[in-house]
Amino acid sequence: MSSNASSDPTSRITSSDDLEVSAYLEISQEKAGHGIPNASNHIPQRESVLVIDFGSQYSRLIARRIRESKVYCEIIPYSATWDSVKDLNPRGVVLSGGPASVYDSNPPLAPSWVYECGLPILGICYGMQVMVHQLGGKVAPATKREYGHAVLHQNSTDEPLLHGLPSSIPVWMSHADQITELPPGFHAKAYTDNAPVAVTANDQGMLGIQFHPEVAHTPHGVDIINNFLYKICGMGELWTSGNFVSESVDRIKAQVGDGKVICALSGGVDSAVAATLVHKAVGDQLTCIFVNNGLMRKEEPDRVKTTFEKYLNVNLIFSESTERFLSSLKGIVDPEQKRKIIGSEFINVFDEEAARLGQVDFLTQGTLYPDVIESASPENSVSATIKTHHNVGGLPEHMKLELVEPLRYLFKDEVREVGLELGLPEEMVYRQPFPGPGLAIRIMGEVTHDKLEILRAADWIVMDEIKANNLYRELWQTFAVLTGSRSVGVTGDFRTYGHVIAIRAVKSDDAMTADWARLPYDVLASISSRIANEVPDVNRVVFDITSKPPGTIEWE
């Protein structure tokens, strides 16, 4: 909360955020692809860098660092063909790290076009070893593994990749193999105590580094990435929110033409930005639908309606469907069943509302790049499928609508930049994420009216205290969970047997990983005291200190 915000919690607690309601859609693979995008899904670019994924935990971080340098990039599987990526106008290729060894029985390798297309290549860790192996060098197990901090020493000062850097710099290593013989034409450019070849290059713009420049533990890593992008690939700083907005508007106009578009609004930043982009492109051809499923935070449905009518000025249908959803959830305790039931009911309500509009041709969704990456199909990637996001793909066949997904290749921070570029207010743009299934997956066990009221009251207090202490913008998500447990307590002179509320607060860049937030003790004390005193039937508050992994951000 800003320092001049009102002390009234109503003014401090904003509307629900993303993982929009449209994420409920149960999808069929045929409509719009699945996992790491194929050629038909790509957004054509003026120029780009391709990040070939070999299963590294850092592949997404590499992509983020490149995007932060105002250069567009996409993560693609090592099985990708040239025809599937050429429309991206690639100017360089990055080979990611990975858990494999090139001397395994069937290691993932780069496609042949990578070495034949004449583009600059930067191999990182396993990506370096793959390049050396495929071009005729040798890789073998290291006599001493190297994990963590190391010092990189340059052999000379003429390597463009290391331009402007000190002769010795700290780097972050994570490898058990090493280069024992370089391919023809390659030269060692730097070394560490345990890696005789820590940087290598040839005269054709093929480079390899054994360390990870994308992590914060390599202080000059951004300089190295920028040297590759600007000095070696000759990229410009073209990936900006202004360019994205203007080009997206043109693409949406071309796709939609004279058709009618509907968009499921959740109150979150993703659906808000997607709707604003589409409205900017096609105006009154867009109608937004907000479905109140009864699973939102305190006073949220009315706040969402007021906010969108004030700032978006779009055609808005408000569908009150609380009883319908809660009736469907009666007796259900399994979290996956909850999700499926909510998804099915949402589809039915949304379909009914859309049918009243007459002929509709397109559906706008706020799908983001992490949704696409985390839902990557195992046959196309060595990365594990974390979870399937229901808004990654197509629609139920009976809806027969074509998808408009203007944010499909954006990370969350990029969505927020676009939102500001479009003139949306900061309180909307920086809203914390809120799950598509709403409070149903923050109530362990059956969802009832009484439990929802208890959780809403506790969640209101959590958010009020977080904003009152100016912590809201520091945190990715903060919320209360009704754990399903009960504990003995004492209120006055009476024994109680009340509910246990858990507080969850995490920090993250994009929700792919998250660390539990070290909230100040006095804030936790205030939250606990207020919940125990102000929320009926609750007598104990606990604080969740689990990171992701091994846990997830949400409890269900």
User: Per-residue confidence at 541, pLDDT binned at 50, 70, 90?
Assistant: very high
Q: Rounded mean pLDDT of 283-312?
A: 88
User: Is residue 34 scored above 70 in pLDDT?
Assistant: no
Residues of the chain with CATH 3.40.50.620: 9-30+240-429
User: Per-residue confidence at 399, pLDDT binned at 50, 70, 90?
Assistant: low
State the architecture of 448-543 in CATH terms. 2-Layer Sandwich (3.30)
State the architecture of 9-30+240-429 in CATH terms. 3-Layer(aba) Sandwich (3.40)
Annotated catalytic residue 220: no
What was the pLDDT predicted at 129? 95
Strand 206-209 relative to strand 195-201: parallel, antiparallel, unpaired? antiparallel
Annotated catalytic residue 117: no
pLDDT digits (tens, 9 = 90+) for 186-237: 999 999 988 899 999 999 999 999 999 998 889 999 999 999 999 999 999 9
Active-site position among 34, 133, 212, 220: 212
Distance in angstroms (rounded) separating the CA atoms of residues 92 and 232:
9
Residues of the chain with CATH 3.30.300.10: 448-543
Question: Is the domain 47-232 a CATH 3.40.50.880 member?
Answer: yes
What was the pLDDT predicted at 41? 56
What was the pLDDT predicted at 398? 56
Active-site position among 20, 146, 159, 214: 214
Active-site position among 125, 233, 263, 288: 125
Residues of the chain with CATH 3.40.50.880: 47-232
- Distance from CA of residue 286 to its chain's centroid? 26
Residues near 55 by Cβ (< 8 Å), separated by ≥ 6? 96, 98, 99, 100, 108, 381, 382, 383
Buried-exposed string 355-378: b where 16+ CB fall within 10 A, e elsewhere: eeeeebbbbbbbbbbbbbbbbbbe
User: Per-residue confidence at 8, pLDDT binned at 50, 70, 90?
Assistant: very low
Distance in angstroms (rounded) separating the CA atoms of residues 128 and 226:
18
Nearest to 408 by CA among 270, 254, 509: 270
